[in-house]
Structures are given as structure tokens and as C-alpha cells.
Amino acid sequence: MIGASPPLSPTKAPLLEARELTRHYRVSRGFLRGTAVVRALDGVSFTLEHGKTLAVVGESGCGKSTLARQVTMIETPTAGVLRLNGADVAHADRTARRRLRPQVQMVFQNPYASLNPRRTVGALLEEPLVIHRRGSAAERREQAFAIMDKVGLRHEHYGRYPHMFSGGQRQRIAVARALMLSPSLVVADEPISALDVSIQAQVLNLLLDLQRDLSIAYLFIAHNLQVVRHIADAVLVMYLGKAVEQGPKDAIFARPLHPYTQTLLASTPSLTRARRVRRDVAVAEPASPLTLISGCAFRTRCPRAIERCSVETPAPRAIGNITVACHRADE
């Protein structure tokens, strides 16, 4: 189960554990205006179990991609705890990070931009093995062919270039490259949003098949809640750098407790009348990440905000099997 601060299992630690994970950036506000701090991640806590999928959802600017950069060790957190298989990632030195990185791989949003157009499929797939000095040339080639079989690519594709493939095939190549080091966790940053609708389901089903066969865990970043409903085991909802609600997928979709989660679900198109539930939804645009808002960050858009929301920041609390940061969630 995924929650704000669940106890660790006495027999098996979670694959990924974050506690009050924080990432701030100092940015310029322009000539003579000094600098400001962007709180891209502001105390996010969660756990992800082996072989499961945690979907991270929220509007643009909520901190999803920043979270991905911390998990993949592209950046170092400003504060907080981040553990991968029990190993400290947040405070790891360069040598430790090099040892940990093969365990976490990433599939990017745009398969047209994430593949080097000057390298063949075989060279792209074998590159991670070359960097980490694994196997001979013959062994690397054999492993590339094995992974190509798993993602539905033919051996004749080995010597071809990315421009010779469709978007769906390119994303299969990207998925194959992410699997070459046998990771325990794959961070998928909106991996189907740049693809035609007709092939999105194919890529999603491929990810599910690979998870079943290889016991991979996914940190799945998405804005399409219908996709989340299909692939996730648990959901983490973020707003302006904070985790406002998280819990099992079925519980979140059946009875969302935070007004922001209700807004996201209400804005999702549905052809089924039973699912077209009318709720009070947020109005106006989200605040700038540079704006310091007292109390609850969502209160300026929340139709249920009260005076308490403007002076007291809601702490995450458990209601049933959902963890939610809202003063009025249990009303």
C-alpha cells in the first residue's frame, strides 16, 4: 500500500521510499528584482513496492517531472530522504550514484527526440552496456536481440536508424533501451502522450506485459486519468510541489477526498452516464510557483475553502486507505 508515512515491512523494504523530499530552485526575477525560490518539490512522501505501478498526476508545473529527475538521480534533492532498495540516494556520492543508476531507467515522453538519429537501433540498445562495461561485443549483441524480442521488434531492425520507424516503434525502441540494464524501476514520463491514439493502447499493454514478465516497478507520470485507471496500482496527486492525495487506484477513483483530485476527475471525459458525476470544481488558473500562498496552496481555487484554509497548512492524514492533505476531507 502507498501512503504518506507507512511503516516499513519487517521482511522486505519498499523498492522506493521518499520522506519529505524537497527540491528548490533559485531563479532570477529580472533586472533589479533579485531572485526568488521555486518550490518545485515541497516535502513529498510516498513508497513504491516491488513490481507495482505508482502513477503521479497533476497539472503542468505541479512537480511531476522534478520528482522524476530526483528518482533517476539526474538532480540531487535540496532536502529529505530518498531510498532505493534501502540505499540512500539523496546523499549518495558520485561513486554510489554510478552504482545505483542501472537500477533506475527512464522512458521519455517524445520518442522522436529521445533517440539519437545518427545511431542504429543496435548501437542505441547496446550503449548502456558499453557505458557500464558489461559483456563482450557478442554478448551485448545477443542481449540486444533478446530485448528486441520482448518488445516486439524484429532482428532485422537492429541495423536500421530511428527515422525509419513509426512513433510507436520508436517508443518500443526506447522501452527496450531502458530494459538493457535489467532495472528494478522504470520512470515513464508521459510515455504515450506524443503517440497517435491508435497505438497508445499497444504501448500501454506492452508495459503491462513487461511488468508481469520481468517484475518491473513503474513510476508512471501522466495527465490522462483514463490511462492511469488502466495501468496504475496506486495514485499520487500533486499540486504546486505538494502531495495532496494518494492511495490505491480504486479508492481514489471511487471516492476522491481532495477537491483538487475531484477537479481532475470531473474534467476527464466519459461516455458513461454513471461516471459523469457533477462536483464542485476549481475555478481560475493555478497560482505561479513563485507565489507564496499562506495555508493551503489550493485554497485560492477551492470552492470549499474556509478561513482555516488561509492560515493553516493541512498536514497529510489517513482517512481509510487514502492519505489526504485537506482540512475538510472527512466532512
Per-domain residue ranges of the chain: 16-324
- Residue 280 has what pLDDT? 55
Q: Domain spanning 16-324: which CATH class is it, in words?
A: alpha beta
Q: What does the alpha-carbon distance between residue 118 and residue 243 come to, in Å, rounded to a whole number? A: 40
User: What is the separation of C-alpha 170 from the centre of its chain, rounded to a whole number of angstroms?
Assistant: 21
User: Over pLDDT 70: what percentage of the chain?
Assistant: 89
- Residue 283 has what pLDDT? 57
Backbone angles phi, psi at 226, to 5 degrees: -70, -35
Q: Is the pLDDT of residue 294 over 90?
A: no
Q: Which amino acid is at 229?
A: R
What global pTM score does this model have?
0.89
Q: Is the pLDDT of residue 273 over 60?
A: no
Closest residue by Cα to residue 125 from 174, 188, 168, 169: 174
**Mean pLDDT across the chain, nearest whole number?**
88
Q: What does the alpha-carbon distance between residue 306 and residue 169 come to, in Å, rounded to a whole number? A: 51
pLDDT 10s digits, 25-49: 988 777 767 788 888 999 999 999 9
Q: What does the alpha-carbon distance between residue 199 and residue 156 come to, in Å, rounded to a whole number? A: 22
Non-local (6+) Cβ contacts of 323 within 8 A are 3, 4, 243, 245, 246, 247, 316, 317
pLDDT 10s digits, 133-183: 999 999 999 999 999 999 999 999 999 999 999 999 999 999 999 999 999
Q: Is the pLDDT of residue 214 over 60?
A: yes
Compute and round to an integer the Cα radius of gyration of the chain: 21
> How would residue 281 be classed by pLDDT, with cut points 50, 70 and 90?
low
